[in-house]
Structure 1
Amino acid sequence: MTASKGNNLYFKGYVGIESEKIAFVSEDKESANQFLTNHPDAIRIDATGKIVMPGLINTHTHVAMALLRGISDDVPLMEWLEQHIWPIEGKMGYQEVYDGARLGILEMLMGGTTTFVDMYPYEEAVAEAAESAGIRALVSPCPMDFRMEHFENDWKQVQKRFSSSRLVSMWMGPHAIYTLSGKNLQRSISLSKELGIGSHVHLAETQTEQDNCMAQHGMSPTEYMEKEGLFTTKTLAAHCVVMSDHDIEILVKNGVSVAHNPQSNMKLASGIAPVKKMLDAGINVSIGTDGASSNNDLDMWEEMRSASLLQKVSTLDPCAIPAYTALQMATVNGAKAIGREGELGVIAAGAFADVILVDLEKAHLYPHTNLISELVYSAHASDVDTVIVNGSIVVENRKCLTMNAQEVCSTAQKHIDALMTK
């Protein structure tokens, strides 16, 4: 399943990978034989009974929050942040973020996510964890009014250590209008322009955010961010739940991409983002999980399914988000959202070799009548058998080759036990 334009399904095909790129995609066995002749030491993977498809792209998460899974449930967003999340995050340092990120990355790799877009303090630690594990990451050092000194150090360290990385890249991550004053927002925008990078922001997540912005500034969060100039940088806006028609027009005009987080929005009762309306208007909408403490997992298969079903029931239109559209949101749309269209999210010659194999020999995927439907409406993260990132095998036969899963999990448990008693 290529996810590219034209023929998307080869029922018997071959994919050749050379170094970090896809060399060919073909139904022609002779092409495969010629490739093997030219590369006699090539690793051969028999994908019989499996579907070969692009790795999934999670366009909004706080991966280290896997460490905080389950510590606060069933409360509204601001209470969740102010009374539960921010206090414990204040006790976390580089090592806790690094090991929390490893836990989240392990979960994502095992579920077929090959690229994630992150926003958090200590993004240097997240970048280190990502590069070590062999997953592609776009990290976003996160300016907030009460963390500006830390932010300035963080982005400089990420740039210093990972500017030549093949897996890690950086954008700015201005957190949200309710945590960032105009002066500090302008600092983030200036840095994005100076460094030639994009911005990753929370936008219009709740009605409370909308009401407070209207009371303080006389305009919606989207209107405010446009006025402040955020959208003069390439912008990926997470959530976009409370959106007027005018807000949608602003996103269209400025080429802003959206990261839709259906399960987090449901769990925090933030609302239902008008995804169909945004797609119909021409906005590039991708999919994210948000953090594992507000979801409570990093399973992109569940997010695809939820994105489709939630739009169907909210619009009373069973055609609102078809299965293939949801799959595109998790692959090609994600690549476009981070400026990697044609490079990621597709199985095509010249694209980076971020490839997953999904085992179709499962009772919940039989009978095979519509493979796209089976992937979106029936598949689970546990169906992913093999994961290749940048041409390297990182998961094989359901085993992560780059991390000791037992050690990652036990270390995370030790950290949260200690944090809960501080």
Structure 2
Amino acid sequence: MKLLISQALVIPMTQEGLSFRGDIGIDGKHIAFVGVKPAHFVPDQVIDGSSFLAMPALVNAHTHLSMELMRNYKDNLPTLQAWLAEIFPVEDKLQEEDVLRASRLGVIELIQSGVTTFTDMYFHPQATAQAVLEGGIRASIGITLFGSLAENKERVLQREADLRFYREHPDGRIQVDCAPHAIYTCPKETLQYAHDWAKDRQRILHIHVSETKQEVQDSLHQFGKTPLEYLYAIGALDGVRSLIAHGVHLTDAEVALLADMDATLVHNPSSNCKLSSGIAPIASYLERGVSVGLGTDGASSNNNLNMFEEMHIASLLGRVHTPTGTKLNPYQVLSMATVNGAKALGLERRIGMISEGMEADIILLDLKKSHLTPLNDPFSAVVYAAQASDVDTVLCQGKVVMQHRKVLTLDEEQTIKAVNESWDNIQRR
């Protein structure tokens, strides 16, 4: 199948400030060319891109997808710790079918906001993987670890078996990684086991770090070290690619440590603000060489999976909270949501840019909108003005998964009905 997107305004994310009018040719999964259509390329389908902005699909580098179930629930609690005390009992009631239904809803919401790749950390990961497969997008599915070493060894064996089909699927859209929750829910032995598992299999280790001041204070009291220093000291991050979620309260020493590691810090500004966790000084992290991605966190602490909103909030906070005087610019924020997210997942040679040979994960934004007129700077328009509702068309591996705002791979109406039914059942359990 050959697809031509003709005469779109293209932001390829291959060079800062670069945008141009041009054609994008797609042959199967891959981008065949970008620029001017060669005479030998004969498309089976043509999308008139003249009123669209074409850009790489977004990467949501940290979320808990099926927490869709707890959206708009217990919203006014004062701290992360108080919120978790209300959420954990609900999670104890979740069944695999609940997670499958909520994950389908999450996949729909991601597609509707231009996301084709996400990183997940949650329970019943095989159910989330099934929703990803049905929805036609990509995911890093984390085998989530809590508690003692013995129970986690058993859990990992079971989850590896549960997820083998999805990891080995020929589409190659699902990778299985390791997700120890945090230092306050996993003892040292579990964290070291997670590290060894990830290192042996060359997988990613995904963990919450320094989300709150309380977490840092507790770590100093218990271990005599800050969270990242503790993880480094016990060898939990050595020689593995790591995703460090939040990192709101890092010391200068930790920032220097992180900059030298094969790691990406994932900024979650909406969740951090809502839970009163704080504002990460992202501009200063970037200035010091830290790779930074962007995530929404779960829909219970956000309360949505809207990466356009996340970019907007990140950009605003990154121009106000500037301890070193350095401010975020739109290209940096857009890089966090595309190029940096792809790199974080080891997918930098496959997605994150619109370039010949890359897989065709592309979104088209409808520019015929009052809030995008006049366009002037397309990077500013995407980060400061664009809405998720401007995403008209979404492609993943060259396949159209949403067109004219209609998700083609999952039934939105039936999914909403099923999620409401699951939530009613959970409350009765």
Give TM-score, length-normalised by structure 2: 0.93
Counterpart in the other structure of 2:84: 81
Residues 1:302 and 1:318: Cα distance change in structure 2 (over 3 Å) = farther
Counterpart in the other structure of 1:381: 388
SS of structure 2 residue aligned to 1:35: coil
SS of structure 2 residue aligned to 1:200: strand
Please provide the CA RMSD for this pair: 1.5
Counterpart in the other structure of 1:3: 13
Counterpart in the other structure of 1:100: 102
Residues 1:93 and 1:44: Cα distance change in structure 2 (over 3 Å) = same
* Structure 1 Cα separation of the partners of residues 183 and 324 of structure 2: 33
Residues 1:405 and 1:318: Cα distance change in structure 2 (over 3 Å) = farther
Counterpart in the other structure of 2:4: none
Shift of 1:195: 1.4
Contact 1:124 1:155 in 2 (8 A): no
Q: Does 1:213 align with 2:219?
A: yes
CA-to-partner distance for each residue in 1:212-264, whole Å, 9 max, x for gaps? 00000000000001012122211010000010100101111223211100000
Shift of 1:316: 7.6
Once the two structures are superposed, the pairs formed by residues 13-412 of structure 1 within 5 Å of their partners are 13-26=22-35, 28-29=36-37, 31=38, 33-36=39-42, 39=43, 42-75=44-77, 76-82=79-85, 84-145=86-147, 148=152, 149-165=154-170, 166-232=172-238, 233-315=240-322, 320-412=327-419
Contact 1:121 1:154 in 2 (8 A): no
* Structure 2 Cα separation of the partners of residues 373 and 317 of structure 1: 23
Unaligned runs of 5+ in 1: none
Shift of 1:369: 1.1
CA-to-partner distance for each residue in 1:333-376, whole Å, 9 max, x for gaps? 11111111132110000111000000010111111211111110
* Structure 2 Cα separation of the partners of residues 304 and 290 of structure 1: 13
* Structure 2 Cα separation of the partners of residues 168 and 63 of structure 1: 15
* Structure 1 Cα separation of the partners of residues 341 and 167 of structure 2: 22
Residues 1:417 and 1:257: Cα distance change in structure 2 (over 3 Å) = same
Contact 2:13 2:352 in 1 (8 A): yes
* Structure 2 Cα separation of the partners of residues 363 and 230 of structure 1: 50
Residues 1:180 and 1:317: Cα distance change in structure 2 (over 3 Å) = closer
Report which of the two has the higher share of helix: 1
Query: Which piece of structure 1 moves more, 57-66 or 154-163?
Result: 154-163
Residues 1:332 and 1:267: Cα distance change in structure 2 (over 3 Å) = same
* Structure 2 Cα separation of the partners of residues 404 and 164 of structure 1: 23
**How many residues are paired up?**
413
Report which of the two has the higher share of strand: 2
SS of structure 2 residue aligned to 1:254: coil
* Structure 2 Cα separation of the partners of residues 231 and 161 of structure 1: 26
SS of structure 1 residue aligned to 2:145: coil
What amino acid sits opposite 1:157 in the alignment?
D
Residues 1:215 and 1:7: Cα distance change in structure 2 (over 3 Å) = closer
SS of structure 2 residue aligned to 1:3: coil
Contact 2:26 2:33 in 1 (8 A): yes
Shift of 1:160: 4.5
Shift of 1:318: 8.6
Contact 1:243 1:274 in 2 (8 A): no
What amino acid sits opposite 1:276 in the alignment?
A
Counterpart in the other structure of 2:7: none
Contact 1:386 1:397 in 2 (8 A): yes
What amino acid sits opposite 1:384 in the alignment?
V
* Structure 2 Cα separation of the partners of residues 47 and 317 of structure 1: 41
What amino acid sits opposite 1:24 in the alignment?
F
Contact 2:349 2:358 in 1 (8 A): yes
What amino acid sits opposite 2:415 in the alignment?
V
CA-to-partner distance for each residue in 1:251-310, whole Å, 9 max, x for gaps? 112232111000000000101112111101111101000000000000000111111111
What amino acid sits opposite 1:271 in the alignment?
G
What amino acid sits opposite 2:109 in the alignment?
E
Residues 1:328 and 1:174: Cα distance change in structure 2 (over 3 Å) = same
Shift of 1:159: 2.9
* Structure 2 Cα separation of the partners of residues 99 and 158 of structure 1: 18
* Structure 2 Cα separation of the partners of residues 255 and 190 of structure 1: 16
CA-to-partner distance for each residue in 1:378-409, whole Å, 9 max, x for gaps? 11100000000011100001100001110011
Contact 1:343 1:351 in 2 (8 A): yes
What amino acid sits opposite 1:341 in the alignment?
E
Shift of 1:156: 3.1
* Structure 2 Cα separation of the partners of residues 173 and 316 of structure 1: 31
SS of structure 1 residue aligned to 2:290: coil
